[in-house]
Amino acid sequence: MSRLMINGGKPLKGDLSVHGAKNAVLPILAASILCDDGVSVIHNCPDLRDVATTIEILKYLGVSVTRTGHTLTVDARSRLGNHIPKHLMQQLRSSIIFMGAIVARKHKAKISLPGGCELGPRPIDLHIKALQDLGCKIKEKKNCILIRSKKMKCGTIHLAFPSVGATENAMLTSCLSPGITIVENAAKEPEIIDLACFLNAMGACICGAGTNRIEIHGVSHLHAADYTIMPDRIAAITYLCCAATTGGDITLHNVISEHMEPALSLLAQCGCLVEAKEHTIHIAAPSCLTMPPAIVTEPYPGFPTDAQSLFLALLTTANGIGHIRENIFSGRFKVATELRKMGAAIALNNNEATITGVPGLHGATVKATDLRGGAALVIAALGAQGTTEIENLHYIDRGYDNLTTNLTRLGADIHRI
Ligand code: EPZ
């Protein structure tokens, strides 16, 4: 298995363009099967393991996909399958989004439980209930989920929690159903807006995406679309934290600053100079950070759970005592064990972490335990004195396009072996 070797302590300097959003392109690729008479073109697609797996699922369903650089061409005109095998479903969480897309076109589907990072329980009850509210009959057998719908119906779906995936599944399932479907307590993440914009570019009629109430007016047919994926806000925050931990000075391009307000405000409270324009962000960091007020993860527009591990790593060497409360995924503090191997002082109590800032971290051999936990170890290693070896790179490869090349270009001493 490949590993990363990082010699820390070098301030990052320079400019970087941020890749397209993983959590936008994955549901949009699932949505692309809803067009059966044209070829969609999707630009700014990052080259990630999760995108490669999603393309494998599309091809298994009979869809042809070609990649030219960061542009994918998707042709779903041939007969579409309705079954995704377990070995593909289990490679990522967002495979569950195909359930709604397949049902919308085929009115039946056979899938198994999705995979994804182990961040604690990752049930799909809200997805199941949403499809049942739309008239689907769902049978769960050992490891297999059968969905049937003789007649799709519209309806009102009230999500008990603003689940990103369940909101996406509700939108995909209902966009070709007659009538008006309402999703209440919908997730408001920017990736939901991107999915709605793609579906509307295909001829769907969806309004309210980005608010907690989404209206889907079912249409009879969707055509091909030419679409550009939004920038990845979590990748952007990752690079900002890499600069902040090394006392660096970088400028990010191709970002949407308003998607990252809580993180940008926290970086400023840590003592960084943060200059955010609409599509660029400049950060200049001090040699030692100040501990910010307590961080609490919440659904968008609150502080994103996906940035929690990144800040846990960043704050290990800030001045003072800091607190982070994780309200979304109970298993998201696993990386603390690895950070302690590098000298971090982190105390955990249920869903709360208390960080006592130390003068500096030292290199160690550590293991990535999930995607954002792996990125957190990169941040810690870049700021540490000495050499850090990070194992289980496959986690990081799921969500970061060209991470090693990009960091090298910014002056980091990092090698993939
Ligand atoms: C999406 O996961 C993202 N993944 C996650 O990013 C992100 O952390 C998460 O949204 C929250 O923002 C993709 O978009 C591919 P949820 P998702 O449904 O849809 C509970 C990353 O690192 N829940 O909003 O799985 C769930 O247990 C990944 O890029 C139910 O109880 O997240 C969690 O506590 C990690 N029942 C909460 O809701 C359900 O049926 C939020 O989950 C579904 C979810």
Tell me which amino acid residue 29 is.
L
Calculate how far, in angstroms, residue 165's C-alpha sits from the geometric centre of ligand 1: 6
Q: Is the CB of 121 under 6 A from ligand 1?
A: yes
Neighbour tally for 262: CB within 10 Å: 18
Is the model more confident about 276 or about 150? 276
Look up residue 414 and give its DSSP letter.
E
- For ligand 1, the distance from its centroid to the CA atom of residue 301, given in whole angstroms, is 15
| Those residues with Cβ within 8 angstroms of residue 280's Cβ, 6 or more apart along the chain or in another chain | 251, 252, 253, 255, 257
Return the pLDDT at 347.
98
Supply the Cα-derived Rg of the chain in whole angstroms.
21
Q: How far is the CA of 163 from the centre of ligand 1 (A)?
A: 6
- Predicted confidence (pLDDT) per residue in 162-194, tens digit: 999 999 999 999 999 999 999 999 999 999 999
β-strands 365-367, 108-111 pairing: unpaired
26 lines ligand 1 (CB under 6 A): yes
Q: What's the length of the chain? A: 417
Q: What is the C-alpha separation between 20 and 50, in angstroms, rounded?
A: 13
Ligand 1 atom with minimal separation from the 119 CA: 35
pLDDT at 157: 97
Which pLDDT score is estimated for 152? 83
Atom number in ligand 1 closest to CA 372: 22
pLDDT score recorded for residue 140: 86
pLDDT at 151 over 90: no
d(CA 329, CA 297): 9
- How far is residue 344's CA from residue 359's CA, in Å, rounded to a whole number? 10
Contact (Cβ atoms closer than 8 angstroms) between residue 191 and residue 164: yes
> Which atom, in ligand 1's list, is nearest to the CA of 161?
38
Residue 39, beta-bridge partner list: 75
Q: What is the DSSP track for 238-282? A: HHHHHHHHTT-EEEEES--GGGGHHHHHHHHHTT-EEEE-SSEEE
- Binning pLDDT at 50, 70 and 90, where does residue 123 land? confident
Task: Tell me, using a 6 A CB cutoff, whether residue 129 lines ligand 1.
Answer: no
Q: What is the tens place of the pLDDT at every residue in 332-360? A: 999 999 999 999 999 999 999 999 999 99
- Mutate-to-test residue for ligand 1 from 25, 26, 49, 93, highest number of ligand atoms within 8 A of CB: 93
pLDDT of residue 113: 84
pLDDT at site 186: 98
Where in the sequence numbering do the catalytic residues fall? 117
Nearest atom, ligand 1, residue 399 CA? 29
Q: Is the pLDDT reported for residue 103 higher than 90?
A: yes
Q: Is the CB of 306 under 6 A from ligand 1?
A: yes
Residue 41 has pLDDT above 80, yes or no: yes
- Cis ω before 301 (30° cut-off from 0): yes
Q: Is pLDDT of 153 > 90?
A: no
Position 294 scores a pLDDT of 98
CA–CA separation, 322 and 220 (whole Å) = 53
Nearest atom in ligand 1 to 299's CA: 12
Strand order in the sheet with 156-158: 156-158, 180-184, 213-217, 205-207
pLDDT given for residue 400 in this prediction: 97
Ligand 1 centre and the CA of 369: distance in Å?
17
Locate the ligand 1 atom nearest the alpha carbon of residue 122 and give its number.
Answer: 27
pTM of the model: 0.97
235: three-class secondary structure by DSSP: helix
Residue 311: per-residue pLDDT: 98
| Cβ of 165 below 6 Å from ligand 1 | yes
User: What local confidence, expressed as pLDDT, does residue 168 receive?
Assistant: 98
Higher pLDDT, 143 or 61: 61
| 305 pocket-lining for ligand 1 (C-beta < 6 Å) | yes
pLDDT band, very low/low/confident/very high, at 364 (cuts 50, 70, 90): very high
Residue closest via CA to ligand 1's atom 13 equals 23
Distance CA 414, CA 50 (A): 23
Q: Percent of the chain scored above 90 by pLDDT?
A: 91
Rounded distance, CA 136 to CA 173, Å? 10
Lowest mean pLDDT among 89-103, 234-248, 392-406: 89-103
Share of the chain above pLDDT 70, in %: 100
Backbone angles phi, psi at 82, to 5 degrees: -130, 15
Q: How far is the C-alpha of 131 from the C-alpha of 167, rounded, in Å?
A: 11
Q: Is the CB of 126 under 6 A from ligand 1?
A: yes
Whole-number Å distance, alpha carbon 398 to ligand 1 midpoint, is 16
Our CA angle for 240, 354, 393, nearest 5°, is 50
pLDDT band at 394 (very low <50, low <70, confident <90, very high): very high
Per-residue pLDDT tens for 219-269? Answer: 999 999 999 999 999 999 999 999 999 999 999 999 999 999 999 999 999
Q: Give me the phi and psi of 288, to 5 degrees please.
A: -135, 130
Q: pLDDT band at residue 96, thresholds of 50, 70 and 90?
A: very high
Q: How far apart are alpha carbons 245 and 253 in whole angstroms?
A: 20
What spacing in Å lies between the alpha carbon of 13 and ligand 1's midpoint?
34
In this model, does residue 117 exceed pLDDT 80?
no
Model confidence over 279-304: pLDDT tens digits? 999 999 999 999 999 999 999 999 99
DSSP notation for 285-299: --SSPBP-SPEEB-S
Rounded CA separation 102/83 (Å): 9
Predicted pLDDT of residue 116: 78
> Would you say the CB of residue 123 lies under 6 angstroms from ligand 1?
yes
Centroid of ligand 1 to alpha carbon of 78 (angstroms): 32
Buried b (16+ CB within 10 A) or exposed e, 331-368: ebbbbbebbebbbbebeeeebebebebeeebebbebbb
- How far lies 90's CA from each of 33, 87, 260, in Å? 20, 6, 30
What confidence category does residue 120 fall into, taking pLDDT thresholds of 50, 70 and 90?
confident
Q: What is the mean pLDDT of the chain?
A: 96
